[in-house]
């Protein structure tokens, strides 16, 4: 049974991307995966600074986040778009978890051979899809296999109902299908 770690690249309490990732998580669970949905607000980390790392190592929450990454086969990320890229919060947690903690640890151990599905939602008409270009590139450069499929939901302010589900059936089905596709891909890679 594939184990998936899912989170949004937003710490905002009312984040639309947090709602979106829960829908993708449902799609993956319905396809037979175990999904751990986390909120990055529960893993507060200072802005990455190499002097801080040299003096103190990984902050506790960065270590916890990195270990969670290593315990899972795959990732699902819903990231807001900030000025056409992904968020600094997301880049920061990715940077901390990319660091080795001992001489024996292989580089990028939290990322190599992981599979990821990425998605976004924003109030704009493009749904944050421009940020996914950068996120896809970053993840691929650190060894993650990113599914060609992705999904962006525009006009977030009117896209979700009171229960946090997507109102439009095509968007809902696409996000559920993205979760299911991730599960099918992980299974095929492990055959
Ligand atoms: C610094 C900043 C830059 C933003 N740039 C964009 C942008 O380039 N494109 C876009 O669609 N929305 C942009 N937004 C709006 C975000 O999509 C919006 O704040 C959204 O609610 C963030 O996602 P969340 O609800 O998951 O926190 C920006 C917001 C901030 C704070």
Tens digits of per-residue pLDDT, 156-170?
999 999 999 999 999
For residue 154, what pLDDT is reported? 98
Q: Distance between CA atoms of 92 and 68, rounded to whole angstroms?
A: 16
Q: How confident is the model at residue 12 (pLDDT cuts 50, 70, 90)?
A: very high
Q: What is the mean pLDDT of the chain?
A: 97
> What value does the mean pLDDT take over residues 113-137?
98
Q: How confident is the model at residue 60 (pLDDT cuts 50, 70, 90)?
A: very high
Find the residues whose C-beta lies inside 6 A of ligand 1: 8, 10, 12, 15-17, 80-84, 122-124, 128
DSSP-assigned beta bridge partners for residue 170: none
CA of 86 to the centre of ligand 1 (A): 9
Q: How confident is the model at residue 65 (pLDDT cuts 50, 70, 90)?
A: very high
For residue 98, what pLDDT is reported? 98
For residue 188, what pLDDT is reported? 97
For residue 183, what pLDDT is reported? 98
Ligand 1 probe mutation, 12, 18, 19, 81, most atoms within 8 A of CB: 81
> What value does the mean pLDDT take over residues 71-94?
98
Per cent of the chain over pLDDT 90 is: 98
> What value does the mean pLDDT take over residues 125-129?
98
- In order of 30, 57, 78, 88, the CA distances from 8 in angstroms are 20, 25, 5, 12
Contact 118, 150 (CB under 8 A): yes
> What value does the mean pLDDT take over residues 29-55?
98
Element (H, E) at 116: strand 115-121
Its pTM stands at 0.98
For 13, phi then psi, to 5°, come to -60, -45
CA of 33 to the centre of ligand 1 (A): 30
171-191 pLDDT tens trace? 999 999 999 999 999 999 998
């Amino acid at each position: 049974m594939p184990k998936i770690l899912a989170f949004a690249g937003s710490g905002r309490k009312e984040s639309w991307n947090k709602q979106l990732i829960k829908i993708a998580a449902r799609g993956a669970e319905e396809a037979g995966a175990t999904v751990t949905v986390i909120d990055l607000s529960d893993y507060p980390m200072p802005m990455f600074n190499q002097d801080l790392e040299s003096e103190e190592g990984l902050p506790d929450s960065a270590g916890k986040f990195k270990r969670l990454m290593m315990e899972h086969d795959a990732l699902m990320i819903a990231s807001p778009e900030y000025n056409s890229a992904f968020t600094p919060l997301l880049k920061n947690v990715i940077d901390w978890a990319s660091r080795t903690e001992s001489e024996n640890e292989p580089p990028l151990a939290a990322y190599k051979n992981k599979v990821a599905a990425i998605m976004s939602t924003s109030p704009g008409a493009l749904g944050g899809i421009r940020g996914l270009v950068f996120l896809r590139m970053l993840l691929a450069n650190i060894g993650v296999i990113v599914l060609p499929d992705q999904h962006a939901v525009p006009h977030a302010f009117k896209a979700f109902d009171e229960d946090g589900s997507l109102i439009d059936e095509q968007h809902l089905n696409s996000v559920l299908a993205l979760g299911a596709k991730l599960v099918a891909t992980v299974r095929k890679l492990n055959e």
